[in-house]
Chain A
Amino acid sequence: NAGVTQTPKFQVLKTGQSMTLQCAQDMNHEYMSWYRQDPGMGLRLIHYSVGAGITDQGEVPNGYNVSRSTTEDFPLRLLSAAPSQTSVYFCASSQTGSRNEQFFGPGTRLTVL
């Protein structure tokens, strides 16, 4: 099992550009989520999904879109990147919700100039 994979590992964008961060898991987990990690802030929940076709907002959803067309994939879209979105992004999955151990991907380091 590859676990949770994220691509790309690093990305530099200019303000206003759009991009999609990819996340995939091969553990047949129903629950997937996205967090951002900023220095001194811990991790904060952006969006989550409890199953294919179902998504919901977390603590800091503004500027991000998600969709969940399959159980395996949970992409995060930045429609118009801003410098405030410079961060490390982690995708996570678990069997059923945040009450279970979360399996985290290796992270994507995004810089918006």
Chain B
Amino acid sequence: AQKVTQAQTEISVVEKEDVTLDCVYETRDTTYYLFWYKQPPSGELVFLIRRNSFDEQNEISGRYSWNFQKSTSSFNFTITASQVVDSAVYFCALSEAGNSGGGADGLTFGKGTHLIIQP
């Protein structure tokens, strides 16, 4: 069965520091999709990125970057020059789109990392 592990329950850094959030996944499918979502204190879920299993290129969007490594089953998220507005819970999630195991068509979420950016 699929699994997503976010080992860092909480991270606290001072503003302007760089911070990396780890995500390790398990799946038997060769076709799958990985996601990151942000949940700010207001509670809504904000989509950040989607990556399919055939595209291992790293991606950068402003201060955000993602490192996808199939060899280590990891999809880590780095925030450069963190800001107070980055304070939130961040979730990594997996979709086994190939669904070869006959499982449910839904996202498997990690337990989330609570990121605190101190001014």
Contacts and interface: CB of A to CB of B under 8 A. Distances in A.
- Are chains A and B native binding partners rather than an unrelated pairing? yes
A104 B104 contact: no
Contact of B44 (A35, A44, A104): A104
B47 A98 contact: no
A56 B93 CA distance: 20
B95 A104 contact: no
A45 B104 contact: yes
B91 A42 contact: yes
Interface in A28-61: 31, 33, 35, 40-45, 48, 50, 56-59
A88 B43 contact: yes
A80 B45 CA distance: 28
A102 interface: yes
Q: Which residue, of A33, A43, A97, A102, has the highest number of chain B Cβ atoms within 10 A?
A: A43
A45 B44 contact: no
Nearest to B46: A104
Contacts of B45: 90, 92, 102, 104
Nearest to B98: A99
A41 B44 contact: no
Contacts of B28: none
Contacts of B104: 45, 48, 56-59
A6 B85 CA distance: 26
Interface in B88-119: 91, 93, 95, 97, 104-112
A101 interface: yes
Contact of B109 (A44, A48, A99): A44
A101 B105 contact: no
Contacts of B47: 101-103
Contacts of B33: 98-99
Contact of A102 (B43, B107, B111): B107
A101 B50 contact: yes
Nearest to B104: A58
B78 to A, nearest CB: 21
Interface of B: 4, 9, 33, 35, 37, 43-45, 47, 50, 52, 91, 93, 95, 97, 104-112
The 4 A-B pairs of least Cβ separation, nearest first, read A45-B106, A99-B97, A42-B109, A98-B95
